[in-house]
Structure 1
């Protein structure tokens, strides 16, 4: 062992590596080391997440940490690997896929429980499918900021620890520079992992994987009469809550393939995502999605379709198809209930009353008809009790008569609700800041000029999106005219 690696081991002495996924065996992955990048540099470090993980603050600022999180040094205790999985992409069976540009370093013990550490963009793997295994600065900044924005909004997600860059050239639509984003999650297992072993008729491995997930992440399912059906039901319900959270904040994932669906109900793989500007239920954020399969208003049904695929993959472990269908059934009640609960909170309604579903539906219809900015509407609605605040909401609508009719309906519903309670509820559920596409574009343009200050500022703002941030008011404003011309594709 080199003295360099010994020094790193000493720096990380408090961390314990467990690497449970590696214990599944070679059928599940290929062991390989990341491919180094020349002359790496820091783009941004998420010090709050580093603290949560128990990383030494001084070490996290060091050249050693830069080398580790770029993939230039393999730290002792880790077991770098790329996992294999399969999946349905845009509704079609794509066959074997796998970690084409992600390398799992391993799993560490943290104060919040075990967390896997993964490098995205760390070089080719056996699953790269003719790709270079690299990520570019543009996509790495987008994933880094959006995953932390989602966490700030209280939405289940993978996290992002840091971004490192290099002047190494990478070809996409044009020549760009390379970057690596370090992601963390309790597990990166996807629906596609189960599909891989089911479709290849490796049913022993399928059972090993399902047992691993149950024992480590869904232990209550072990005591069920039918543990694999219980697992499917639990995943369905977690996914329902996640997608309800997406719909409530106006988040479009953009590429909900089964290989991009987390078995833990986490938002994963930030590519052609977008937070809605003007409210358009049929908005398609992914320029590659020419059929509009993953439009905003289709996401709930696509999630169920993906869960159905997971259920098919688990069938070899069940008695019959009816068992799987019964396990999926709860999605149909959990999702609408979860969405309605979130929308009532956004409206400042602490309890359910008859007519709330109609009020929520009328709100969506009004916003869509007037193409109202989704985030700004909900934030301004928090001031509805004052005359200036109510007028500020009204100013968002072209059809004033339709708005006035809705406002009367809303006033009647909220009249018996304590104003302080309603204001507190709305403040906690209507963000002032979301990670809009044009904000990402501004950060990327600055970063390409070696100015990473906008990335760091946005990170701080998005980690507490419900609060006011002095000097950052522009980040909460309307998008500029040029924002509508931004095109985000699967390569993003």
Structure 2
């Protein structure tokens, strides 16, 4: 089936469009059309994301939907565009960047932006081909929905389509397009771009747009003597702190936390060389390109603060006072540890804070790090141990049995007085059975390359509700095979 972009525009049932970001004008974006791919096919679809759009499910499965979300046929009411931004990459100013392989279809009347990633080159592709490969598109699709299932703020993924068109990365691969959704795809780097070029008028217009659409409370805040831009910076800092706390609690490594990969809404965005920890190693580096370890797991909270400082510098022309800008970042230092302890307390099944909780949390993490115990399996087995009173399966994860026994006694003493069933229920609701481990994604990718998409569908179903038992799917919750440690993921992933 070959579909050409000059055919009549499609009407997508349930989708209505609004101006949104495009109303800011040509200084912020370039209008352009996606480039068609030959003979597209469906790889995966998220019914949950489709319902967010109010999109007719049968249309999403149709040939017309396939054409539209591959970029082969325009959708009526859309005026696609790519946006310009700049940023710091691996701590170094990279200058102008932009949507090099992402093309925005537009914003729906319900307030969600719809974006095609891999739909062809843009003026910001920097000599790239503007394409995404099947491998990375499946990873982004599954992880976007997995993070949503875990309750972590994230962009969403509606679908993935593939094509046998060839794309060269480290080797020849096949092309794919992932359709992403978010209330806004604005990044820290959008602000850095206009600040670096001393375009204060555009900087103010962008800040006003984001505040009015997504942070209206900042217009009426009494913080910083009513300085809305400082209040905005503080709100972004606090959302970012809460996001990082959730990443650390679930053992998620982003892998490439450049300022252009940081969402102004505190969403997880740009799934490239990510990884959920297998054995717990606080210094784990998931990005093969990160030779200096800048984005190691235990560095993520500090890097987020560094990125926020870059955002503060960009907003300084609007805030007007450097000391006020620095003060607007201060709450990050209290919100992150507080949110992290709350997340970890929930994993321990504790409803209220108490003295000694930090020591209990740190004790568990120290035990895990000493032997690189599997992070997800430990927390799930711990939950089951509280539920049924049998510590054997979780105790068997440790060589230092005495160390675990001492910690278990402390945990038991801390939760004394609360029924075990209540504690276990809370723990099972915060300690997932399923996460998107690298080897699971790799198996689904290899099957999909042979046009078998059942692995993608199975993983999606498990990851949408990762706290449920899903009887009959135990192999997806087991230890990673030995070969999993040989998987290398990089910025091209």
Secondary structure of the equivalent of 1:88?
Answer: strand
RMSD, matched Cα? 1.2
Larger displacement relative to structure 2 (291-300 or 418-427): 418-427
Aligned residues: 485
Asked whether the equivalents of residues 381 and 389 of structure 1 are also in contact (C-alpha less than 8 Å), the reply is no
TM-score where L is the length of structure 2:
0.97
Tell whether the 8 Å contact from 1:349 to 1:417 is kept in structure 2 after alignment: no
- After TM superposition, the structure 1 = structure 2 runs for residues 426-445 of structure 1, keeping only pairs within 5 Å, are 426-445=427-446
| 1:14-413 matched pairs, under 5 angstroms | 14-110=14-110, 114-224=111-221, 225-385=226-386, 389-413=390-414
Which digits, 9 at most, give the CA deviation of each residue in 1:132-154, with x for residues without a partner?
A: 00000000000000010000000
The answer as to whether partners of 1:235 and 1:265 remain within 8 angstroms in 2 is yes
Secondary structure in structure 2 of the residue aligned to 1:107: strand
Deviations 1:193-247, CA, capped at 9 Å, x for gaps: 0000000000000000000000000000011300000000000000000000000
Confirm or deny: 8 A CA contact 2:387 2:420 kept in the other structure.
no
Deviation string 1:140-175 (CA, Å, 9 cap, x unpaired) is 000000010000000000000000000000000000
What SS does the corresponding residue of 2:385 show, helix, strand or coil?
coil
Partners of 2:230 and 2:324 within 8 A in 1: yes
Give the SS at the match of 2:48. helix
Distance in 1 between residues matched to 2:400 and 2:343, nearest whole Å? 26
Q: Deviations over 1:172-192 (max 9, x none)?
A: 000000000000000000000
C-alpha contact (below 8 Å) 1:19/1:79 kept by paired residues:
no
Distance, in Å, in 2 between the alignment partners of 1:405 and 1:421 is 23
TM-score, reference length from structure 1: 0.97
Q: State the Cα distance separating 1:428 from its structure 2 match.
A: 1.0
Higher deviation after alignment, 463-472 or 435-444? 463-472
- The answer (yes or no) to whether the contact 1:30–1:81 under 8 Å persists in 2 is yes
Answer whether contact 1:348 1:423 (CA < 8 A) is retained. yes
Distance 1:324 1:386, change over 3 A: closer
Query: Using the alignment, how far apart are the partners of 1:308 and 1:241 within structure 2?
Result: 17
Q: Deviations over 1:317-365 (max 9, x none)?
A: 0121101011000000000000000000000111111000111111110
Q: 2: CA distance between counterparts of 1:279 and 1:468?
A: 23
Partner of 2:491: 490
The answer to whether the 8 Å contact 2:106/2:115 transfers is yes
Instruction: Name the CA distance, whole Å, in 2 between partners of 1:74 and 1:179.
Output: 17
| Aligned partners of 1:71 and 1:122 also within 8 Å | yes
Residues 387 and 424 of structure 2 are in contact (CA less than 8 Å); yes or no, is this contact kept in structure 1?
Answer: no
Aligned to 2:471: 470
Q: Which moved more, 1:178-187 or 1:399-408?
A: 399-408
- Which secondary structure does the structure 1 equivalent of 2:179 belong to? strand
Q: Name stretches of at least 5 consecutive residues in structure 1 with no aligned partner.
A: none
Distance 1:473 1:331 in 2: 39
SS at match of 2:113: strand
Q: How far 1:409 sits from its partner (Å)?
A: 1.4
Q: Is the 8 A contact 1:191 1:258 kept in 2?
A: yes
Q: Distance in 2 between matches of 1:403 and 1:371?
A: 14
Distance in 1, Cα, partners of 2:417 & 2:370: 29
**TM-aligned CA deviation for residue 417 of structure 1:** 2.3
Structure 2: how far apart are the matches of 1:179 and 1:38?
A: 11
Unpaired segments ≥5 residues, structure 2: none
Distance 1:389 1:89 in 2: 48
